[in-house]
Amino acid sequence: MPVYAIAQNTLVDQEKMDEYLSKVGATIPDGVKLLASDDTPELIEGEGQPLRTVIVEFPDRDVFDAWYQSPEYRELTKIRMAAAPGTFILVEGA
């Protein structure tokens, strides 16, 4: 069953984000798909300012866990968090 990683954050350091983006591709396993990336999502319901949102599909939880826990990606999380603090959640597909 696929799982979806959803990041919502506020970009605070473009230079660090550029560094992250230049390195993250080499860590992504086969079968992973970027489904959406929007710096200015539209708020349909509720209140507040919607945050920059990225949605990535992983084939299954094992593929996600192996990627997220890999030493290569763990180093990059420090850069990502400094560049764009926010939330990173995982949801199961239907």
Dihedral, CA of residue 18, residue 85, residue 68 and residue 74, to nearest 10: 70
Which tens digits make up the pLDDT trace of 18-41? Answer: 999 999 999 999 999 999 999 999
DSSP one-letter string for 19-63: HHHHHHGGGPPTT-EEEEEESSPPP-SSSSPPPEEEEEEESSHHH
Handedness of CA 57, 62, 67, 68 (dihedral sign): positive
Q: Which domains does the chain have, with CATH numbers?
A: 3-92 (3.30.70.100)
The pTM score is 0.91
The pair of three-digit structure tokens given for residue 73, joined into one six-digit string: 């990606």
How confident is the model at residue 65, as a pLDDT?
Answer: 98
**Residue 94 scores a pLDDT above 90:** no
Query: Quick one: pLDDT at residue 38?
Result: 96
CA distance 78 to 35: 23
Q: Provide the token pair at 48.
A: 């507040």
pLDDT tens figures, 37-80: 999 999 999 999 899 999 999 999 999 999 999 999 999 999 99
